[in-house]
């Protein structure tokens, strides 16, 4: 498996060309009188989240491969059209528009930031093309951004932060300091924690905002040290999380304080190393190590390993798999490829593709799913993939989401 994005795309194109040229497939397609089912896949192949994005593509390709191996839909094969949105909302909108207008995609799955998914959603909504977002966001569930064609396979900050808070605050104490990246995602995380923390008697000592992309946190840490919190919550993401976790470790904060990252990603942990993340606890949508408890996780991991030289899927990667697979399953269930009918089928879908039972809530199309609480390992690791202990899995439950009313949805059926 190659890791260069351009090669990935090229490989895809050749694969597509080969499929089209292959006489058998060609005759089937012609017999049905129809083209492949095209799924547009905008994601930031370059930029700060490129490692996560490339794993999304690998897993999405796997979903397509499985669909095609099972005969597709009435002989129609699926095809993934991957585009680099460069983590830029404008670029994401342009690429999505091209995918819809020029490449005539049937559906769009993808995105890896709160901002790009909203711009992709806006383009798809206007053109009535089904979009399944595989990146965390609270806003996409709210009525003003939502449409019949908007689906959200990923977790949202409210749910993730809530699950981590419900697990951690009763265990580690109630005095909390937040170190928060100063942008929408960071603020959403803090809100999620505070909502869940209220009923648990949590007490916020300080919410310290740091600039997005800061490399040095040493100037913020002495005050946190002096406040002596029970829990320090790092409400940031990617490299910011790696740097702040590393420096909090250097300052000896972990001796008296439990450090929590609401979203603890497999890829961040790999980039930051065992030492920086030692003992840090957090929430995630998926960890491959769930496979000894959940059979569908085992099946997904094995298929992914086989396709990727033994590598395991990351959390965001797995979302790419589920995002594409659910749409393709809905095509079969709806016996149609138009977005409206597939949307109705998706609303009725109950699926267990990789992490246990999931379904899309009727009012906002949020995927109701479990949240995994993990802790970073630093000892007794079996191999390089063995980075977390699974502490708990909060089962899927609608009551952990914000209510349909609160999100502004009038119709709840």
* Residue 411 binds other proteins (CB under 8 A): no
Largest CA distance in the chain: 73
Joined tokens for residue 98: 């091209």
Residue with tokens 């909302």: 89
* Residue 214 binds other proteins (CB under 8 A): yes
For residue 19, the minimal CB distance to other proteins (Å) is 29
String marking each residue 216-235 x if it binds other proteins according to CB under 8 A: x-xxxxxx-xxx--------
Q: What is the DSSP letter of 143?
A: G
Among positions 174-193, residues that touch other proteins (CB under 8 A) are 182
Instruction: Choose the stretch contacting other proteins; rule: CB under 8 A; options: 43-51, 168-176, 319-327, 383-391.
Output: 43-51
Joined tokens for residue 226: 């002096």
Q: For the chain, how are helix, strand and coil distributed in percent, rounded to 5?
A: 50, 20, 35
Among positions 3-32, residues that touch other proteins (CB under 8 A) are 3
216 Cβ partners below 8 Å, 6+ apart? 243, 247
For residue 263, the minimal CB distance to other proteins (Å) is 17
Give how many residues touch other proteins by CB under 8 A: 38
For residue 228, the minimal CB distance to other proteins (Å) is 10
* Residue 256 binds other proteins (CB under 8 A): no
* Residue 278 binds other proteins (CB under 8 A): no
- Sign of the alpha-carbon torsion through 329, 335, 340, 344: negative
Cβ-contact 215, 185 below 8 angstroms: no
- Measured CA to CA, the distance from residue 181 to residue 287 in angstroms comes to 24
* Residue 148 binds other proteins (CB under 8 A): no
For residue 180, the minimal CB distance to other proteins (Å) is 9
* Residue 166 binds other proteins (CB under 8 A): no
16 Cβ partners below 8 Å, 6+ apart? 36, 79
Strand order in the sheet with 175-181: 203-210, 175-181, 231-235, 258-263, 281-284, 371-376, 388-394
For residue 250, the minimal CB distance to other proteins (Å) is 4
E strand or H helix at 319, and its extent? helix 315-334
Applying CB under 8 A, among 15, 25, 35, 270 the residue interacting with other proteins is: 270
* Residue 252 binds other proteins (CB under 8 A): yes
* Residue 209 binds other proteins (CB under 8 A): yes
206 Cβ partners below 8 Å, 6+ apart? 177, 178, 223, 224, 227
Applying CB under 8 A, among 272, 282, 289, 317 the residue interacting with other proteins is: 272
Q: CA 354 → CA 17, 22, 291, 315, distances in Å?
A: 30, 32, 9, 11
For residue 244, the minimal CB distance to other proteins (Å) is 10
Nearer to other proteins, 73 or 220 (CB): 220
The closest alpha carbon to 133, from 157, 160, 156, 111, belongs to 111
Nearer to other proteins, 239 or 362 (CB): 239
* Residue 250 binds other proteins (CB under 8 A): yes
Applying CB under 8 A, among 11, 125, 175, 239 the residue interacting with other proteins is: 239
Nearer to other proteins, 24 or 215 (CB): 215
Name the site residues for other proteins (rule: CB under 8 A). Answer: 3, 46, 48, 50-51, 182, 208-211, 213-216, 218-223, 225-227, 239, 242-243, 246-247, 250-252, 267, 270-273, 275-276
């Amino acid at each position: 498996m190659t890791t260069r994005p351009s090669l990935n795309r090229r490989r895809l194109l050749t694969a597509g060309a080969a499929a089209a040229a292959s006489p058998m497939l060609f005759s089937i397609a012609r017999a049905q009188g129809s083209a492949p089912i095209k799924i547009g896949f905008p994601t930031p192949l370059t930029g700060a989240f490129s490692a996560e994005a490339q794993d999304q593509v690998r897993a999405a390709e796997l979903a397509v491969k499985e669909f095609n191996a099972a005969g597709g839909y009435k002989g129609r094969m699926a095809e993934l059209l991957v585009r680099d949105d460069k983590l830029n909302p404008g670029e994401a909108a342009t690429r999505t528009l091209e995918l819809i207008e020029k490449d005539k995609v049937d559906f769009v799955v993808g995105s890896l930031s709160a901002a790009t998914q909203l711009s992709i959603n806006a383009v798809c909504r206007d053109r009535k093309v089904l979009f399944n977002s595989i990146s965390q966001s609270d806003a996409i569930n709210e009525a003003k951004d939502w449409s019949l064609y908007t689906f959200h396979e990923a977790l949202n900050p409210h749910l993730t932060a809530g699950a981590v808070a419900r697990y951690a605050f009763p265990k580690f104490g109630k005095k909390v300091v937040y170190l928060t990246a100063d942008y929408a995602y960071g603020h959403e995380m803090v809100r999620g924690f505070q909502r869940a923390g209220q009923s648990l008697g949590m007490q916020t000592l300080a919410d310290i905002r740091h600039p997005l992309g800061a490399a040095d946190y040493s100037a913020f840490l002495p005050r946190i040290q002096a406040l002596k919190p029970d829990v320090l919550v790092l409400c940031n993401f990617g490299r910011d999380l790696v740097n702040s976790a590393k420096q909090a470790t250097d300052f000896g904060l972990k001796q008296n304080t439990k450090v929590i990252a609401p979203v603890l990603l497999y890829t961040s942990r790999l980039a930051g190393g065992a030492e920086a993340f030692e003992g840090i606890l957090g929430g995630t949508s998926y960890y491959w190590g769930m496979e000894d408890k959940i059979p569908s996780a085992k099946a997904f991991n094995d298929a992914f390993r086989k396709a990727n030289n033994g590598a395991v899927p990351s959390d965001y990667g797995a979302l790419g798999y589920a995002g594409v697979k659910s749409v393709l399953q809905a095509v079969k269930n709806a016996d149609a490829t138009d977005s409206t009918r597939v949307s109705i089928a998706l609303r009725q879908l109950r699926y267990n593709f990789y992490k246990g039972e999931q379904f899309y809530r009727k009012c906002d199309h949020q995927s109701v799913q479990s949240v995994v609480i993990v802790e970073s390992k630093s000892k007794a690791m079996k191999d390089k993939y063995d980075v977390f202990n699974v502490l708990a899995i909060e089962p899927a439950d609608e009551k952990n989401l914000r209510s349909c009313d609160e999100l502004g949805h009038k119709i709840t059926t």
